[in-house]
Amino acid sequence: MKILVATEKPFAKEATDGIRQIVENSGNELSLLEKYTDVNDFYKAVADAHALIVRSDKVTAEVIKAAQKLQIVVRAGAGYDNIDTAACTARNIVAMNTPGQNSNAVAELAIGLMIYMYRNTFTPGTGHELKGKKLGIHACGNIGRLVASIAKGFGMEVYGYDPFISADYLKANGIIPLSSAQELYSTCHFVSLHIPATEETKKSIGYELLSKMPKNGCLINTAREAVINEPELVKAMEERPDLKYGSDMMPSNAVEMKEKFGNRFFATPKKMGAETAEANINAGLAAANQIVKFFQTGDTTFKVN
Ligand code: NAD
């Protein structure tokens, strides 16, 4: 079987080497398309592939149409909003993610952003400490729970809201469960966002929630920009000169945000959360192993469609 790795933003070399080893040792063939700038190159490369590994690359209906032999696509990462899962399902193509494999990298970045924002993005002036502050984890999945455990080490009080996880489970993970997003935002100095981007969550974080935050409220977003209602974020930050926003995604209105809010706003130039060698290796190797297992035994453990 031909397994294509199509990465506009390539994996670290150790990850690509590891993927090659897994693919070739299992008697399959690896094809690499890295740093492509023209989507037509992607269409061409995928034409004879039986399996596809991507990172943030968009697997659109057009890609699926071009991939007439495709049986499985794996997003090396947690969020799979870059994959048209309906188009995959329509063609009986299995879509998977690799949950948990890059969570630690993202959790560490979230904590780093918290410090950076509370120290005025390292510009002169008096900042604040994390110790004793209340942290709200908005969605307590793999990344949220790791952020919670690191934050405990800083002496933060950790709260969480996740309607799909039981209160007992959150408590067992050192998180004080709250029963609504409203309660989370009105309680916590920091809110760290970890909700997936879905039809329900897109643009769901806006004025109503942000304007409820206590003094020196700071929103940290390592989830997806799509979940933010950008005009409402601007409105809340205009009204409340104490609010801050630190993001791992460049908002579409980044220039306006920088102009209006200076060092109360920061966004990484490119999504950096999973950009560690460790996370690349974990997610890349997991993707390769999942594909090999699928071809060998039909295993679909991490299927999302
Ligand atoms: P996960 O699947 O382990 O956890 C997601 C959690 O969200 C689940 O516990 C689920 O119950 C909860 N949830 C879903 N809808 C919700 C809602 N409406 N309100 C509250 N909670 C809700 O995923 P994860 O590994 O923790 O990743 C979370 C998100 O982080 C991903 O979906 C992805 O978008 C993003 N992510 C970003 C990077 C990056 O590079 N910045 C890397 C990995 C993941």
- Which ligand 1 atom is nearest residue 144's CA? 26
| Order of all β-strands in the sheet with 218-221 | 176-177, 157-161, 134-138, 190-193, 218-221, 244-247, 265-267
Predicted confidence at residue 37, as pLDDT, reads 97
Cα of 285 from ligand 1 centre, angstroms: 21
User: Is residue 195 very low, low, confident or very high in pLDDT (cuts 50, 70, 90)?
Assistant: very high
Q: Which residues of 246-277 are buried (b: 16+ CB within 10 A; e: fewer)?
A: bbbbebeebeebeeebeebbbbbeebbbbbbe
25 C-beta neighbours (distance < 10 Å), count: 10
Bridge-based pairing of strands 94-97 and 134-138 is unpaired
User: Is residue 198 very low, low, confident or very high in pLDDT (cuts 50, 70, 90)?
Assistant: very high
- Which ligand 1 atom is nearest residue 204's CA? 18
- Which ligand 1 atom is nearest residue 275's CA? 40
What's the average model confidence in pLDDT over 35-47?
A: 98
Predicted confidence at residue 208, as pLDDT, reads 98
Contact call for residues 137 and 194 (beta carbons, < 8 A)? yes
What's the average model confidence in pLDDT over 27-55?
A: 98
Cα of 81 from ligand 1 centre, angstroms: 11
Residues 118-145 have pLDDT tens digits of 999 999 999 999 999 999 999 999 999 9
Q: From CA 236, how far away is CA 158, in angstroms rounded? A: 24
* DSSP summary character for residue 269: S
Q: Whose CA is nearest to atom 1 of ligand 1?
A: 141
- Which ligand 1 atom is nearest residue 273's CA? 40
* Residues with C-beta less than 6 Å from any ligand 1 atom: 77-79, 99, 102-103, 106, 139-144, 162-165, 194-197, 200-201, 222-224, 248, 271, 273-274
Query: Residue 109: CB partners within 8 Å, gap ≥ 6?
Result: 222, 248, 272, 273
Q: Whose CA is nearest to atom 36 of ligand 1?
A: 223
Q: Which two tokens stand for residue 148?
A: 């919670």
Residue with the two structure tokens 């408590």 = 171
Full set of structural domains in the chain with CATH: 2-101+275-297 (3.40.50.720), 103-267 (3.40.50.720)
User: Is residue 221 very low, low, confident or very high in pLDDT (cuts 50, 70, 90)?
Assistant: very high
Out of 9, 162, 170, mutate this one to test ligand 1's pocket (max ligand atoms within 8 Å of CB): namely 162
Q: Whose CA is nearest to atom 14 of ligand 1?
A: 195
Q: From CA 46, how far away is CA 146, in angstroms rounded? A: 36
Cα of 246 from ligand 1 centre, angstroms: 17
Q: Whose CA is nearest to atom 9 of ligand 1?
A: 141
What's the average model confidence in pLDDT over 285-302?
A: 98
Predicted confidence at residue 121, as pLDDT, reads 98
Q: Whose CA is nearest to atom 30 of ligand 1?
A: 223
CA dihedral 103, 164, 177, 236 (to 10 degrees): 80
Q: Which two tokens stand for residue 35?
A: 């740093």
User: Is residue 173 very low, low, confident or very high in pLDDT (cuts 50, 70, 90)?
Assistant: very high
Contact call for residues 25 and 71 (beta carbons, < 8 A)? no
Provide, rounded to the nearest whole percent, the portion of the chain with pLDDT above 70: 100
Cα of 152 from ligand 1 centre, angstroms: 20
Predicted confidence at residue 19, as pLDDT, reads 98
Cα of 295 from ligand 1 centre, angstroms: 28
Q: Whose CA is nearest to atom 5 of ligand 1?
A: 141
